[in-house]
Amino acid sequence: MCPAMRTKSDNPTPGAAAAATAATASSDLDSFDPVLLLLRFLPYSFLRPPRTRLRLPSSVVLPSPMTVFSLLLLTYFAVVSGLVYDVIVEPPGIGSTQDPATGTVRPIVFLPGRVNGQYIIEGLSSGFMFLLGGFGLIFMDLAVDRHRARSTRLSFAMFGISAVVIAYLMTMLFIRIKIPGYLW
């Protein structure tokens, strides 16, 4: 039985718990490694941790879980989209190439042949596909909840599976456009 799952009558007496803790502590001290002993006790022989009672001021309100999730999701999107690269290198938003047959200028979204370079739209579209796959996983997790109606769970599952499949296929398409002949 797991110690966290014990009933009140199953809990050991305070004396037995103290003896078990002392036995565990003494077994930790019986190490043969002198470096471990030095690393474990030397810093605390002259350093004392401060006794702090940290409390938030009453005017500070913790954000809701959805706010924290939204900020983390926005940060994830910025990182996987290559926002840092875009700020440092300042690539163009979209590229262009001249059609050899007609001489007209065509826009191109993916910087071909360069794995370590990107246009801004290329990074944003790839980041969106990563987010779509992540949302698909979240919706598939919501589909497992037994407290929801069957039709809702089925809708969540279908959307989640289709989002993951679309994100995977589009990401593979982006890679094949970026690097011709890759994974063929």
pLDDT tens for 138-172 read 999 999 999 999 999 999 999 999 999 999 999 99
- Residue 118 located in a structural domain: yes
CB hemisphere CA count around 37 (13 angstroms): 10
Residue 12 lies inside a defined structural domain of this protein: no
Q: What pTM was computed for the model?
A: 0.66
Q: What mean pLDDT is predicted for residues 84-101?
A: 93
In Å, how far from its chain's centre is CA 147?
27
Q: What is the mean pLDDT of residues 88-97?
A: 94
Residue 150 included in any domain? yes
Is residue 91 assigned to a domain?
yes
Which residue in this structure is represented by tokens 């078990």? 20
For residue 144, being part of any structural domain is answered with yes
Check residue 28 and give its pLDDT.
53
Question: Is the separation of the CB atoms in 106 and 99 below 8 Å?
Answer: yes
Q: Which of 114, 117, 132, 130 is nearest to 180 (CA)?
A: 114
pLDDT tens by residue, 25-63: 555 556 677 888 888 888 878 888 788 888 888 899 999
Q: For 113-137, what is the mean pLDDT? A: 94
Q: For the chain, give percent helix, strand, coil, nearest 5.
A: 60, 5, 40
Cα separations in angstroms, 80 against 74, 106, 131, 143: 10, 27, 9, 26
**Does the pLDDT at position 81 exceed 70?**
yes
Q: Is residue 32 part of a domain?
A: no
The secondary element (H helix, E strand) that includes residue 137 is helix 120-142
Q: How much is the average pLDDT of 3-11?
A: 51
Any domain includes 74: yes
**What angle, rounded to 10 degrees, do the helices at 120-142 and 65-80 form?**
140
Contacts 24+ apart (CB under 8 A), 104-112: 110/174, 110/177, 110/178, 111/178, 112/177, 112/178, 112/180
At residue 114, the pLDDT reads 86
- Which structural domain range is residue 129 located in? 69-178
Of 39 and 92, the structure prediction assigns the larger pLDDT to 92
State how many domains the chain has.
1
Average pLDDT, the chain: 85
- Closest-CA residue to 128 (of 85, 84, 158, 166): 166
Does a structural domain hold residue 33?
Answer: no
